[in-house]
């Protein structure tokens, strides 16, 4: 059975059809898979493991059911859900991986990333990322009341949309928010690995890079996107909502 890779589901109460699609995927294809890897942005926003949302409870229950059925689940934090912690991981019975992480797929070392670390031309975002990944910042943020954290998440989403809108007006959206080729090359060379799988950019494709192969996962805004890896190779396809 193949190993399955997904990312950028951005699950949110405002898009119940995609949450339902994810639930069906877990109950159907994911059962019996060698493993399920979720490479970040499972949620549209995550402000701490005390988040009482129905979507979070649904995901934890369905992932735990999947692992009890025999499919291990591995999660790599994204730019929207970087605060997913051990408490939620235990509820969902999933393993949190570092970003980047190296795994063996059919005997081949493969580098896994969310993908935002590769978008180094987006200087403003990289500065925000560095701030919010700081353990001191996270401790202070998580100490705030839930209502304050939820308000911050809404403000951050609005700021992100404004930032992207400004890039679109300048005609820079495609270039700035995609990966930087030099950073991809340097990352593959640094790890000495010729295969990279990531999400984040919402541009599903298979790229032949100077130092190897880069597979980009698609998002789940209008449909699902799944990468299947087995002894016959890798297949990237979509799932109808």
Tally of CA atoms within 13 A in the half-sphere of 97 that contains its CB = 20
Strand pairing class (101-105; 108-113): antiparallel
Q: In whole angstroms, what is the distance from residue 2 CA to residue 12 CA?
A: 28
Beta 95-97 vs 73-76: how paired, if at all? parallel
Residues making up the binding site for Mn(2+): 8, 10, 41, 79, 114, 200, 202
Going by the annotation, the residues of the binding site for substrate are 79-80, 122, 160, 170, 200
In 119-222, DSSP assigns E strands to 195-198, 205-209, 212-216
Annotated binding site: 8, 10, 41, 79-80, 114, 122, 160, 170, 200, 202
- DSSP helix/strand/coil, 40: coil
Q: Residue 31: CB partners within 8 Å, gap ≥ 6?
A: 66, 69, 70, 71
End-to-end CA distance of the chain: 23
- Collapsing DSSP to helix, strand or coil, 157 comes out as helix
Between CA 174 and CA 226 the distance in angstroms is: 23
């Amino acid at each position: 059975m193949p190993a399955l890779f997904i990312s950028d589901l951005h699950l949110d109460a405002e898009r119940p059809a995609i949450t339902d699609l994810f639930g069906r995927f877990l109950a159907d294809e994911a059962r019996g898979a060698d493993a399920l890897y979720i490479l970040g942005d499972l949620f549209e926003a995550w402000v701490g493991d005390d988040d009482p949302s129905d979507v979070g409870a649904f995901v934890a229950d369905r992932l735990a059911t999947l692992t009890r059925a025999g499919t291990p689940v591995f999660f790599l934090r994204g730019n929207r859900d970087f605060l997913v912690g051990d408490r939620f991981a235990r509820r969902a019975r999933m393993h949190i991986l570092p970003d980047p992480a190296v795994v063996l797929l059919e005997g081949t070392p493969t580098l896994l990333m969310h993908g935002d670390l590769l978008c180094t031309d987006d200087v403003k975002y990289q500065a925000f990322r560095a701030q919010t990944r700081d353990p001191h910042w996270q401790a202070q943020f998580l100490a705030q009341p839930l209502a304050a954290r939820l308000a911050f998440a809404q403000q951050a989403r609005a700021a992100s949309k404004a930032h992207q809108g400004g890039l679109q007006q300048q005609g820079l959206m495609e270039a700035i928010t995609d990966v930087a080729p030099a950073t991809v090359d340097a990352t593959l060379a640094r790890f000495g690995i010729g295969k990279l799988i990531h999400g984040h950019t919402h541009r599903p494709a298979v790229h032949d890079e100077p130092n190897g192969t880069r597979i980009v996962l698609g998002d789940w805004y209008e449909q699902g996107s799944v990468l299947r890896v087995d002894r016959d190779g890798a297949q990237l396809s979509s799932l109808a909502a």
